[in-house]
Amino acid sequence: MTSEPFVGLLMFIASRDVETRVVAAMRRAGIDDITLAQARVAARIGPHGTRLTDLAEQAQVTKQTATAIVDRLEHAGYVERVPDPTDGRARLVRLTGKAEALLPIARAEERRIEQEWERHLGPRRMRELRDALTLLREITDPYRDDA
């Protein structure tokens, strides 16, 4: 009579595993001055920069938290703040070259994980998983856009 585990919990377990592994890959590559929360925010920065308020919204934290995280990222040299030409109040947060150099490391680990998953699930189930999650995003992510 034990009901099946809640799907949300299963997802949490898997995504936590992913985060842990990507962070570990960074550490192995010698990058140890960037935290998970910082990476989450940085991952939302678009190619031409993103406003702090937008980052806060997308990462689901308050503006104050986003400010603090961007402060640290800036201090570590991973992002810079430039004035927004279209709005005198606003500033755009942009990735620096130092940050962009890190992307391949993260991407490589992600690919490795996906390959392992595909090996474990088989191609058909992997395909189904991807489809279902993509569809689900429509109702769980209010800020989707492909940057």
Partner DNA sequence: TATATTGGTCAGGCTATCGAACTAGATGAT
Partner DNA sequence: ATCATCTAGTTCGATAGCCTGACCAATATA
Residues at the site binding DNA, with contacts judged by CB under 7 A: 35-38, 51-54, 60-65, 67-72, 81, 84, 87-92
Rounded CA-CA distance 139/127 in Å is: 20
Assess 146 for contact with a second copy (CB under 8 A).
yes
Read off the tokens for 129: 């998983």
Least Cβ distance, residue 116 to a second copy (angstroms) = 7
Least Cβ distance, residue 20 to DNA (angstroms) = 10
Least Cβ distance, residue 25 to a second copy (angstroms) = 12
- Cβ-based neighbours of 136, under 8 Å, separated by 6 or more: none
Assess 126 for contact with a second copy (CB under 8 A).
yes
Q: Which of 33, 71, 87, 114 binds a second copy (CB under 8 A)?
A: 114
Assess 19 for contact with a second copy (CB under 8 A).
yes
Interaction residues for a second copy, span 41-60 (CB under 8 A):
43, 60
Residues 136, 56: contact at Cβ < 8 Å? no
Number of C-beta neighbours around residue 104 at 10 A: 10
Residues 62, 53: contact at Cβ < 8 Å? no
Rounded CA-CA distance 123/108 in Å is: 20
Q: Which amino acid is at 54?
A: D
Contact residues: a second copy, CB under 8 A: 2, 4-20, 22, 43, 60, 110, 113-114, 116-117, 120-121, 125-126, 128-141, 146
